[in-house]
Structure 1
Amino acid sequence: MAGAFQYKPKFVDIRVRPPKAGEAEQADDVYALKPGERRCDHPECSMPASARAPKSRDLMNEHYWFCQPHAAEYNRNWNFFAGMSEGEIRARQEAEQTTGGRPTWDFKASRMSREAASFTASFSRGKGGYQDPFNMFGHGGFGPGASKPAPEPARRLGKLERNALADLDLDENAEGPAIRARYTELVKRCHPDANGGDRSAEHKLQRVIKAYQALRKAGMV
């Protein structure tokens, strides 16, 4: 009876292809990004980003991408009214109550309308009884001051970049050479070897290194 029901496997040679060079290391790396994933924007974080957060109240349409732990940390430290005076906060709250924070428009034609542009063009060409050869009224006449270069737009920085510049004791207009020079100066000043082994400035040194890495990741250095 036992011999009649003896198990006989159909496949006796099941072979598995050995991994190619580099596949074993990639399989062991649990932090390796999968296709289509992006790295977390937090400095020194290699986890995939799954949540986004606005860079600042002035850049609500520009976002950082964080993993869940760093997104939670960013949200805990978020303060929409940071850097605003009491009057600005009160004005913002009143605008939220009256218009919901949405922009409003006047019924009259603005200076950017087609009618205003037509009048400006006629005024600058001397039509309508007016001439402005020296561009005294700033309407783009044909005088010496007719063409003025447009002012350059102010730099748009997010919260991480502003905090990093503050940790390096720099203002928001600091460029790459100034950032590198201040970073080198602070590292030499705060390193324990420069203080006779004193580690009191070690926390400041870590913040300086972290700030410099954040600015490098943002492409500012």
Structure 2
Amino acid sequence: MPGAFQYKPKFVDIRVRPPSKDDATKEDVHALKPGERQCDHPGCRLAATARAPKGRDMLNEHYWFCQPHAAEYNRNWNFFAGMSEGEVRRRQQEEAMTGGRPTWEMKAGRHSREAAAFTAKFGSGQGYRDPFGMFGGGGARKPEPEARRLGKIERNALADLDLDEDADGPKIRARYTELVRRLHPDSNQGDRSGEHRLQRVIKAYQALRKAGMV
């Protein structure tokens, strides 16, 4: 082939300028401004601008998300998730009758002043019958332990770690260490088949740490 028609590259020596000190001092575009809070989605560094309820029974407790993660959370939100058909029907009836607002019984609580006065008089032989339990007679009962209230992110994170919802901090840490040791390629002679599961485990642990459960 004649030399006139041979390909000749225009650029032979391409050099990349090393990073300067000025580049290291540039302002981080993801840095939060005063008064802003970080998005609650694991690994997100953007500022949170929208809030979303943590669960069906936790409407007064919220996650704070940036706009993209708030939209993703809303797309996957299902108010009736985990409820049977009977529970859904009963909830719809409550919405129709009371507008979903809570109702209270017309009697004094076990720890009210009326209940305490009745119990004191009844114990000294000066009491009277309370057949309907209006004043909580029968002695004060020990309060039942309140069940842990978890949001959707925390429940999914515990499921990724194969843990129950009542798992405590030491149990979560022990399970995380066990899964990382089992799934890491160095423990499997370089086999990367469990790498996707390992990433989910790390992300789940970070979410539980952010929620203060570890």
What TM-score do the two structures reach when normalised by structure 1? Answer: 0.74
Offset at 1:27?
A: 4.6
Q: Are the equivalent residues in 2 in contact too, given 1:54–1:61 (CA < 8 A)?
A: yes
SS in 2 for 1:119: helix
Partner of 1:203: 196
Query: Superposed, which structure 2 residues align to 1:92-107 within 5 Å?
Result: 92-105=91-104
Whole-angstrom distance in 2 between the partners of 1:129 and 1:39: 59
CA deviation map 1:132-162 (0-9, x unaligned): xxxxx8414xxxxxxx643322222111111
Identity of aligned residues (%): 71
Partner of 1:169: 162
Structure 2: gaps spanning 5 or more residues: 1-20, 130-136
Whole-angstrom distance in 1 between the partners of 2:181 and 2:30: 33
Larger CA deviation: 154-163 vs 211-220: 154-163
Partner of 1:143: none
Partner of 1:190: 183
SS in 2 for 1:28: coil
Candidates 151, 157, 174, aligned match of 1:158: 151
SS in 1 for 2:51: strand
Offset at 1:125?
A: 3.6
Structure 1: gaps spanning 5 or more residues: 1-21, 131-136, 141-147
Whole-angstrom distance in 2 between the partners of 1:160 and 1:205: 18
Distance 1:159 1:189, change over 3 A: same
Residues matched between the structures, number: 185
SS in 2 for 1:97: helix
Offset at 1:25?
A: 5.3
Q: Are the equivalent residues in 2 in contact too, given 1:26–1:32 (CA < 8 A)?
A: no
Distance 1:43 1:97, change over 3 A: same
1:215 aligns with 2:208: yes
Partner of 2:83: 84
Candidates 102, 107, 130, aligned match of 1:110: 107
Whole-angstrom distance in 2 between the partners of 1:196 and 1:138: 66
Whole-angstrom distance in 1 between the partners of 2:209 and 2:200: 14
Partner of 1:71: 70
Whole-angstrom distance in 2 between the partners of 1:26 and 1:53: 36
Q: Are the equivalent residues in 2 in contact too, given 1:111–1:117 (CA < 8 A)?
A: no
Q: Are the equivalent residues in 1 in contact too, given 2:49–2:67 (CA < 8 A)?
A: yes
Q: Are the equivalent residues in 1 in contact too, given 2:119–2:138 (CA < 8 A)?
A: no
Whole-angstrom distance in 2 between the partners of 1:153 and 1:125: 33
Whole-angstrom distance in 2 between the partners of 1:103 and 1:88: 16
SS in 2 for 1:53: strand
